[in-house]
Amino acid sequence: MLLYCRFGWVTWPQPNREPVTLFYFEPVTLLQRRGGTHGAMGFLFAMGASGCLVAIGLQHLKSQNERRAFTLIELLVVIAIIAILAGLLLPALAKAQSKARAASCMSGLHQLGLGIQMYADDHGGYFPETTHGTSATNRSWIFTLRPYVGNVDAIRACPSDPLRKARLTNQASSYIPNEYVMVDLVGPFGGVTESFRRMDTLRNPTDTITLFEVATDKEPSLSNDHTHSRNWGQGGWDAVLADIQPDRHGNGAASPRHDSGRANELMACGHVSSVSAALLKARIDRGENIARPPD
């Protein structure tokens, strides 16, 4: 018999990310035993803001005329069941949630890819610009793309980026354009010595990376809107890690060298790939500059 019902929510603020909110619902029922009522028992269901069940619990509320509380065995059984359920459910839920985030990131990148394609069609085949070498911040790609994507704010932050909120407020993005395709190499006398900025002249758009997932260590600022991938050849994996987060979508804890897990990359042809960090590092270690558009 239902005695009463409690429900509500608690919120814990988190630095640099959205607060964690837990909703709970606890029906409390009377415990009937031979010889009368023996107190009440509450069944606690707690849910995260994303809707997944994060905890179930039991609590025994004593009544004054109670002769016998839970025996130790009963209590241990309940604890064991909760532990087993949590052990079974939580990793599966975490994995499902991380998969869903990676898929949502992919879809955002895909839309950005379509926006870049449309921008290039309207601008003589050229990729959008970045803030490299200019203080005109309104020329940053994420602004010039606005008219070409429905709602750029809905797609410029990756759901797995721990700094997504800061990037949104600082007019930045979780995605960082490849320097090669959005910045010309300028010689000492001001002449352009290397340019891959025209999308329609790329030799191999299926193998040319346009957007990477930005490094978490990269400060969320408007001017951090392009990699310095022309330095990756010399700087190796450390230079790569200064610009991009190759393990943004990993399972479990990140490895210290960020060489396990995966990250999404947008190709110039509009395709989005989920790339293994280990594979990327192996290519960099071989001396390959994976950001340079192939000839």
Binding site for Zn ion (CB under 5 A): 105, 132, 158, 213, 248
Among the listed residues 137, 268, 152, the one whose alpha carbon sits nearest the alpha carbon of residue 204? 268
DSSP strand E in the chain: where? Answer: 2-14, 17-33, 36-48, 53-61, 175-177, 185-186, 192-194, 209-213, 262-267, 272-276
Q: Name the maximum alpha-carbon separation found in the chain.
A: 98
- Which tokens hold the place of 127? 């990729």
What distance lies between CA 93 and its chain's CA centroid? Answer: 16
| Nearest to Zn ion of 173, 208 (CB atom) | 173
> Which residues partner with 275 through β-bridges?
263
Nearer Cβ to Zn ion (38/277): 277
**Beta strand pairing call for 53-61 and 36-48:** antiparallel
Q: Which is nearer to Zn ion, 25 or 126 (CB)?
A: 126
Task: Return left, alpha or beta for 220; rule: phi > 0 is left, psi -120 to 50 is alpha, else beta.
Answer: beta
Closest contact distance (angstroms) between CB of 161 and Zn ion is: 6
Least CB distance to Zn ion at residue 110 (A): 12
Q: Measured from the CB of residue 158, what is the shortest distance to Zn ion in angstroms?
A: 3
Q: 266 vs 284, which CB is nearer to Zn ion?
A: 266
Rounded-to-integer distance, Cα 47 and Cα 23, Å:
5
Query: Residue 108 CB, nearest distance to Zn ion (Å)?
Result: 8
From the CB of 201, what's the least distance to Zn ion, in Å?
Answer: 22
- Select 38 or 227, whichever has its Cβ closest to Zn ion: 227
In whole angstroms, the minimum distance from the beta carbon of 131 to Zn ion comes to 8
Cα separation of 39 and 151, whole Å? 55
Cβ-in-10-Å burial (0-12, 13-18, 19+) of 170 comes to middle
Nearer to Zn ion, 105 or 112 (CB): 105
